[in-house]
Structure 1
């Protein structure tokens, strides 16, 4: 594509095939009239040949010689034809349009609240509950765009691992390197405290939508705030809460004995409390028992909580018909000049 800031109107580059291919034509149908101009001049020549007055002159054959100057008589017709052709090109309005699209969204603030208590080492998920949750959270973050995401981890206490941020690489680093069972010393499951820490992170948010995703596999056994009270506090700040109960009911594998055989422990989950938290937070409760079910739940939440992407389009259209109109004028002036010279009066053999 030609750069109009570099090439002047008299540059031969405007007549190259690449130049014509780069144009959008506002009135492209006018271009179909160009062959008609050529046809009219061909008809004019044929009719003129038949009707033109001829002066018979008798000369010996050996003295008849066609001189090159006889071809100059075609110059006026050629000039006026070119002038008409470039007028048609101008009427077709060659132009170029640069379109810019600006996208933005009002955005969603999301807090991922992840249980790292000892029971998250249970191996009914592969390789265990926590590693499966970390992998799924990573995939969930990768599917977001422009949303701020924060991380909260909890066991006996709750701890804000990352503030709300759009630096997803930083979040991946926290998930891969910082989330493990030894991050918090106090044992237990402080669900209420975790919700309170997540709420504290989001209470000053001005996002159009605020979402908390709480993932836990046990009962509330620690912390200094009741989960229901914490959920009501979150709801007061318009935070929607999704709760995910992770793990199977009954006996589940947890570690191995001296002979390498899996140990089994009884697993319990306070499903009632998690359901009530989701109800208060105008969200939903999900129970998952394997890796695939956990991924499906996060995919579902990902679809529910999509920000509306808005866009504004800017069009900048530049017309190039003046270039070809100038050429039409040049050829017309040359035509007038040629009509005033001997060229128009050359005898045809």
Structure 2
């Protein structure tokens, strides 16, 4: 018997001896039947001086009849106990955090100094190409999207529907939020999304290739507010500082990460960006919890089906035997 075999209702086994108890305890069933009286019956009674008495005949079943009945009953009891094959509990991903991607889509992200499969591509297209895979792997998180340039706006609110988040990412393009780069506004917009969020673990991934424009909310002030709200920020710089006209402000991104307990990463190309997302998976691993419902295969239809087949076959055989007997009796009568 396999280790995963389980009986749901073992108490139903007490019904096994029930037919025997009924047979021994309850009296026989009395049924009236017609009797054939001879024309000289009353004269015979007067002549012999005997009084007519009631008579009973106990019909007895053959061995095979009893065997079939007991087999059917045992199979019915086997179905009642509800035998099952219980599988191992499946592990499911626990919704453990709200993960917000805050991405820079200012004009500088349109530079075609990156490559996708050996071909020149814009920075934003390369970022999207890698980010699609990253989003699909974060199945346990509620994810959201904020894009920023001159202004910051919400592209996708927090949702466990990662397909929708992925689609919203695909629809975004460079310049939709303006030409300038306002990192402080972007962080502030992200904090607004976290305000009404009930999940305690809050993570923000800030991605930019530029330097804050310097007006409005300053990046470090916004980072300080994030720290007070227990929001961890991972910062990701795009490009090569000091090369090709890049004005990436690495120092500010490093300070933002340090203030909020996150990490700073520098992505000079698509391959490095892929490595960074792998590192993020390790820093923010998926949390699993044991599923409450274990996979169960119910076996009761098998004994129930066998019992039904035996009933049908025994009934069919009884009808055939009866028909053959009637046919023989008629044949003998005519002969």
TM (norm. structure 2) is: 0.61
* SS at structure 2 position matched to 1:206: coil
Report deviation, 1:294. 0.7
User: Is the 2:98–2:141 contact (alpha carbons within 8 Å) kept by the matching residues of 1?
Assistant: yes
* SS at structure 2 position matched to 1:242: strand
| 1:184 corresponds to 2:177 | yes
Residues 128-173 of structure 1: CA distance to partner in whole angstroms, max 9, x if unpaired? Answer: 2111112222222222225322211122332222222234343233
User: Is the 2:139–2:162 contact (alpha carbons within 8 Å) kept by the matching residues of 1?
Assistant: no
Give runs of aligned pairs for residues 1-349 of structure 1, distance below 5 A: 76-79=62-65, 82=68, 95-97=82-84, 105-126=94-115, 127-180=121-174, 182-187=175-180, 189-252=181-244, 266-303=245-282, 304-313=284-293
Q: Aligned Cα RMSD in Å?
A: 3.7
Report deviation, 1:121. 2.1
User: Is the 1:250–1:268 contact (alpha carbons within 8 Å) kept by the matching residues of 2?
Assistant: yes
Residues 203-245 of structure 1: CA distance to partner in whole angstroms, max 9, x if unpaired? Answer: 2211131110001112223441221111111111111111111
Report deviation, 1:319. 6.1
| Structure 2 portions without partners, runs of 5+ | 8-60, 116-120, 315-335
TM (norm. structure 1) is: 0.58
Structure-2 separation of matches of 1:156 and 1:285: 23
Report deviation, 1:197. 0.9
Report deviation, 1:179. 2.6
Structure-2 separation of matches of 1:213 and 1:25: 48
Distance 1:300 1:309, change over 3 A: farther
Structure-2 separation of matches of 1:86 and 1:138: 59
User: Is the 1:123–1:129 contact (alpha carbons within 8 Å) kept by the matching residues of 2?
Assistant: yes
Distance 1:319 1:269, change over 3 A: same
* SS at structure 1 position matched to 2:82: strand
User: Is the 2:92–2:288 contact (alpha carbons within 8 Å) kept by the matching residues of 1?
Assistant: no
User: Is the 1:122–1:129 contact (alpha carbons within 8 Å) kept by the matching residues of 2?
Assistant: yes
User: Is the 1:158–1:193 contact (alpha carbons within 8 Å) kept by the matching residues of 2?
Assistant: yes
Structure-2 separation of matches of 1:165 and 1:323: 47
* SS at structure 1 position matched to 2:293: strand
Report deviation, 1:25. 7.5
The equivalent of 1:42 in structure 2 is none
Greater relative CO (CA pairs within 8 A, separation 6+): 1
Distance 1:105 1:322, change over 3 A: same
Distance 1:214 1:92, change over 3 A: same
Structure-2 separation of matches of 1:171 and 1:102: 24
Distance 1:124 1:236, change over 3 A: same
